[in-house]
Amino acid sequence: MIKNSEIIVFKEVFLNINKTNILNNLNFTILYGDFTYLIGKTGSGKSSIIRSIYCDLPIKSGRSIIDGTDISKIKKTQIPFLRRKIGIIFQDFKLLPDRSIYKNLEFVLKATDWKDKFKIDERINEVLNQVSMIDLKNRLPHQLSGGEQQRVSIARAILNKPNLILADEPTGNLDPATSKEIMNLLININNQGSTVLMATHDYDVISNFPKKTLRLEDGKLFELSKKT
């Protein structure tokens, strides 16, 4: 990681969301250590941009470089290695329903080639402490509130100490008080060095936690001045 260097670069990127909706000529950069909002109406394409960054939606044309990898030319075999450098937080949590919180996190570490049981246990306890969920690690996801599940989702995202966190509407299903708690967690993670790109249409969050903002409207992307 080089200070003031770019972790995300989009140059004239074209994304085909569906048969009738496209995003054309997307141009923006995000620096290592930034916290950036991506805002826009539901269906405007925020999630599509997020998905393209972790190679779940292919880029039709243009160039996109993510943490030093040109994903416009990426091979399928390279995608898992890129994703290991990215933490992803979803609106609907996407936890494995039949496994405890601990086992959810263990699954991720084993899938990313962690072998040492002691180190696995140490890292899981470390991230659960970080999100204040250590006392609930043996519960199943359905036994947790929405805010608690999102805390676990954040813990999962930071397991491998990624340079980049992608958060897709992480407060979308939460009440205002819980949203504030989740935002404080994300800002703390950002302050520790991870870059955060957060797609949202929650303008209360943006107002209460002002950061660099990209607005998506009518298939075009605009950068807004940060309000303080």
Find where tokens 């949203």 sit.
179
On whether the CB atoms of residues 102 and 137 are closer than 8 A, the answer is yes
The tens-digit pLDDT sequence of the chain (228 residues) is 555 699 999 999 998 877 666 788 999 999 999 999 999 888 888 999 999 999 999 898 999 999 999 999 899 999 998 998 999 998 888 899 999 999 999 999 999 999 999 999 999 999 999 999 999 999 999 999 999 999 999 999 999 999 999 999 999 888 999 999 999 999 999 999 999 999 998 889 999 999 999 999 888 888 876 554
Instruction: Assess whether 64 and 115 both reside in one domain.
Output: no
Q: Which of 135, 161, 187 is the last residue of a domain?
A: 161
Structural domain span for residue 198: 1-85+164-228
Model's pTM, two decimal places?
A: 0.92
Give me the pLDDT at residue 225, please.
61
Instruction: Assess whether 9 and 115 both reside in one domain.
Output: no
Residue 144: name the closest of 108, 102, 177, 183 by CA. Answer: 102
Instruction: Assess whether 11 and 71 both reside in one domain.
Output: yes
